[in-house]
Structure 1
Amino acid sequence: MRNSNWRTSSERGPRRTNADAVASYADPRTGQIAFALADGIGEDGTAARLAAAAAVRAAGDGAEAAMAAARHAVEAAGTGDCVLVIAVPLPGEQGYEIAWVGDARAYAVVGDAVTQLTTDHTLAQYFRDRGTPATPRMEHLVTASVRTAKPARIGYATVPTPAFLLLASDGVHRYVDGRSFARVLHHAPDPAAELVRLAVREGSADNATALVVQCPPALPATVAIPAAAA
């Protein structure tokens, strides 16, 4: 959104390097800002940085074009891979189009209502969708990534303008619950930094990154945000 206030924060945590990346870009034609958060697979964050930067630069042509640009950037680098979630403003400041691969997530927050807009592309989610129990290790095994996902595998959702839009890597969303999301977003002076600090305090074993967009005007808590289909 043209007048959005947004913050981002990231911590390396116990990992040797920080392989997460965020990017934003204001379309010079509209002034609307696109956002991306990527999580590198492995310890090298090069692919995440390239994918996030390419995605937001191409977002003026839509979320599908943004995801394609991210893939081209990663392929051109020759090595490395990442998961990615992007938020592309809809025309007329009517909300966002969300696109994702992997387990980076997007949430819409209105009042105390927290809606997850993405569905993880992980082995654990694959088994849960089929009514089969998943092991904790399966939560970390992604079934789609920027480099490997076919176009039909990319997830898409649209959401009307929420009070807050949150993009988070798994180092945050696996350790902080929805109730805490709402409390922090509405009350913390720097909600992105506070979410990352909270994830670290809760024992995050990964890089922890959050990007928070406050979208004016804030909608009343009675507004319903539809959940996305996988």
Structure 2
Amino acid sequence: EICVDNANRSIFNASGSNPQYAGMGTTLVVGVFHENTLILGHIGDSRCYRLRGGVLSQITKDHSLLQEQIDAGLITQEQAAGSSIKNLVTRALGVEDVVMMEINEHTVEVGDCYLMCSDGLSDMVDDAEIASILGGPVPMDQKADILIAVANEHGGRDNISVLLVQAQPATEKRGLISRLLGK
């Protein structure tokens, strides 16, 4: 959280002291994997998805005006998909002097595939297509490239950031000396 606070302050200060950066801000999704737990933080509409057993789930909830309308029952997910206010975020790094990062814990199972991405991907590629790509037989590094290519083919109107993590079986815990000696 200290790193996020420092980044927020740096962006906020740059935005306030340099006219060319006025109004600058960004979103964030960050994860720490520890044993069978994912500690996930996010701000704005950068997302984390999990593919488990062939089912794709969005495990972050956007900090956006559109999400607030969905939560209030004013519009449906289907109506939201075509909305013109998709990118009006209610939280972002650098917009205010203090920002609250939402933090949640998730249980990780072997075989889970996690996708952390910017809205440059999630606005251009629907969940069904993301699930199809992630569930396909292609190597993980190629899946990231495919997701980016598909987002660009669909219009690519924003920066596209993609990070994929595949949960593997736990390895034997070894001490530092054993690891250094390769034992």
TM-score by length of 1: 0.59
Asked whether the 8 Å contact 1:112–1:179 carries over to 2, the reply is no
Query: Is it true that 1:188 corresponds to 2:124 in the alignment?
Result: no
**Cross-structure match for 2:18:** none
Q: 1:130 aligns with which of 56, 72, 81?
A: 72
Amino acid at match of 1:208: I
Amino acid at match of 2:6: A
2: CA distance between counterparts of 1:95 and 1:184? 24
Q: String of CA shifts for 1:180-227, please: whole Å, max 9, x gaps.
A: 223322322311111111112223322222111122139xxxxxxxxx
Cα displacement (A) at 1:137: 2.0
Cα displacement (A) at 1:76: 4.7
Greater CA radius of gyration, 1 or 2? 2
**Cross-structure match for 1:215:** 167
Identity among equivalent positions (%) equals 29
Q: 1:110 aligns with which of 52, 60, 64?
A: 52
Structure 1 unmatched ranges of 5 or more: 1-63, 219-230
Q: 2:103 aligns with which of 153, 156, 161?
A: 156
Query: Is it true that 1:169 corresponds to 2:118 in the alignment?
Result: yes
1:1-230 mapped onto 2 (5 Å cutoff): 64-78=1-15, 79=21, 80-90=24-34, 93-133=35-75, 136-148=83-95, 150-151=98-99, 153-162=100-109, 163-186=112-135, 187-189=137-139, 190-217=142-169
Amino acid at match of 1:69: N
Structure 2 unmatched ranges of 5 or more: 16-20, 171-183
Q: SS where residue 136 of structure 1 aligns?
A: coil
**Structure holding more strand per residue:** 1
Q: String of CA shifts for 1:142-175, please: whole Å, max 9, x gaps.
A: 1110124655x43222112252111111111122
Q: SS where residue 27 of structure 2 aligns?
A: strand
Cα displacement (A) at 1:65: 3.3
Q: SS where residue 124 of structure 1 aligns?
A: helix
Amino acid at match of 1:169: S
| CA shift in 2, pair 1:100/1:211, >3 Å | same
1: CA distance between counterparts of 2:50 and 2:103? 14
TM-score by length of 2: 0.72
Cα displacement (A) at 1:106: 0.6
2: CA distance between counterparts of 1:200 and 1:111? 28
Cα displacement (A) at 1:139: 0.9
Amino acid at match of 2:88: L
RMSD: 2.3
Aligned length: 152
